[in-house]
Structure 1
């Protein structure tokens, strides 16, 4: 991703990044699936003219993607742009 993940600015994000890599990968995989499913729900809601539900599902998709990306960071410093000297 070509931007600084806004979720990584929250204090709880460091807890995610301290998890063992294997656990982070497993959770990120589930979050990627959640993202795909939420996108599908958003498209269906949009086709049914249910704008608020489409927006809700699109937000779920975005948060799932941001969380998955955060979990895929190799270490704390690289996630926030810190420690890259």
Structure 2
């Protein structure tokens, strides 16, 4: 069973600098969240293309980039998971 603790569900929240997110203005947080959403979507597309070309290591790299972009986006929006 997975933990429901926010810092377990989103490893970005456990980073020392994560507390600084709260000091950002709502506008800055939203702008950064939108950038992270774009990065995540781009990374997922690159992962699919790499997988299609049988480039597993690059697909795994882009999957990780997409996952972390999602974690950062959720941290900026103030949601632990979702």
Task: Give the TM interval when normalised to the shorter protein.
Answer: 0.7 to 0.9
Name the structure 2 match of 1:48: 53
12, 20, 28: which is aligned to 1:15? 20
32, 36, 46: which is aligned to 1:31? 36
The count of aligned residue pairs is 73
Name the structure 2 match of 1:6: 11
In the TM superposition, what is the alpha-carbon distance from 1:16 to its structure 2 partner? Answer: 1.7
Pairwise CA RMSD of aligned residues?
1.4
47, 58, 62: which is aligned to 2:63? 58
Which structure has the highest helix share of the two?
A: 2
Name the structure 2 match of 1:82: none
- Greater shift, 27-36 or 9-18, is seen at 9-18
In the TM superposition, what is the alpha-carbon distance from 1:37 to its structure 2 partner? Answer: 0.6
Q: Distance in 2 between matches of 1:6 and 1:61?
A: 14
| Higher gyration radius (CA) | 1
Q: Distance in 2 between matches of 1:22 and 1:46?
A: 36
Structure 2 regions of 5+ residues with no counterpart? none
